[in-house]
């Protein structure tokens, strides 16, 4: 009876175009591990990152952590990467001169970062200079003024 059912199932599959395999299945090379067997630590972390979709954020964090190795000690002493969002890396410089230098090196930085992260990951480098510059003061400044428009109005 079981053989008749199996023959019937194969005939139905053949009608649908889903023929069973003719050749035996091959085993994967190497030792097989069960679900409870210990794994190498690096492999377990890689599997966790892949399962959670954290591969790219982890790679970006690795690049941010190795910033001095990637861009060089001189540039790293005056700049730091702040964020990565949609292919855009925001770099903060400690002076306007270094911000200008990073802007001039933007294409080279994009190429270098893509070597580390994979092609097309970084599309743009955005640079921000120092935010807390000293405000000019002196006898000609009026508290609450809006600049030259106040004196001609």
Residue 19 placed within a domain: no
Residue 70 placed within a domain: no
> Token digits for 55?
């591969």
Residue 97 placed within a domain: yes
pLDDT for residue 114 is more than 70:
yes
Burial 117-130 (b: 16+ CB within 10 A, else e): beeebbeebebebe
Residue 83 placed within a domain: yes
Residue 108 placed within a domain: yes
> Token digits for 30?
């190497």
Residue 121 placed within a domain: yes
- For residues 91-107, give the mean pLDDT: 91
Sign of the Cα torsion 96, 100, 101, 106 reads: positive
Q: What is the tally of structural domains in the chain?
A: 1
- For residues 65-88, give the mean pLDDT: 90
Residue 16's SS3 state is helix
* Residue, of 5 and 30, whose pLDDT is higher: 5
Residue 102 placed within a domain: yes
Burial 6-45 (b: 16+ CB within 10 A, else e): eeeeeeeeeeeeeeeeeeeeeeeeeeeeeeeeeeeeeeee
pLDDT for the residue 17: 64
- For residues 111-136, give the mean pLDDT: 82
Alpha-carbon span 120 to 126, nearest angstrom? 16
pLDDT for the residue 33: 61
Query: Which DSSP state fits 135?
Result: P
pLDDT for the residue 35: 63
* Residue, of 135 and 90, whose pLDDT is higher: 90
- For residues 143-151, give the mean pLDDT: 57
What are the residue ranges of helices labelled H in 17-142?
41-52, 55-65, 67-71, 73-78, 96-104, 106-117
What range defines the domain where residue 97 resides? 79-132
Maximum CA pair distance of the chain? 106
Residue 97, Ramachandran bin (φ over 0: left; ψ between -120 and 50: alpha; else beta): alpha
pLDDT for residue 151 is more than 60:
no
pLDDT for the residue 150: 45
Residue 104 placed within a domain: yes
């Amino acid at each position: 009876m079981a053989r008749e059912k199996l023959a019937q199932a194969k005939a139905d599959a053949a009608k649908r175009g889903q023929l069973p395999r003719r050749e035996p299945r091959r085993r994967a090379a190497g030792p097989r591990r069960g679900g409870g067997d210990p794994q190498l630590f690096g492999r377990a972390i890689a599997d966790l990152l892949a399962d959670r979709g954290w591969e790219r954020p982890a790679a970006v964090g690795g690049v941010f952590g190795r910033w001095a190795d990637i861009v060089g000690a001189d540039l790293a002493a005056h700049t730091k990467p702040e964020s990565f969002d949609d292919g855009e890396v925001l770099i903060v410089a400690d002076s306007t001169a270094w911000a200008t230098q990073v802007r001039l090196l933007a294409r080279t930085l994009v190429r270098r970062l893509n070597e580390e992260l994979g092609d097309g990951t970084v599309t743009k480098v955005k640079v921000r200079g120092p935010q807390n510059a000293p405000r000019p003061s002196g006898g000609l400044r009026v508290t609450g003024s809006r600049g030259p428009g106040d004196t001609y109005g």
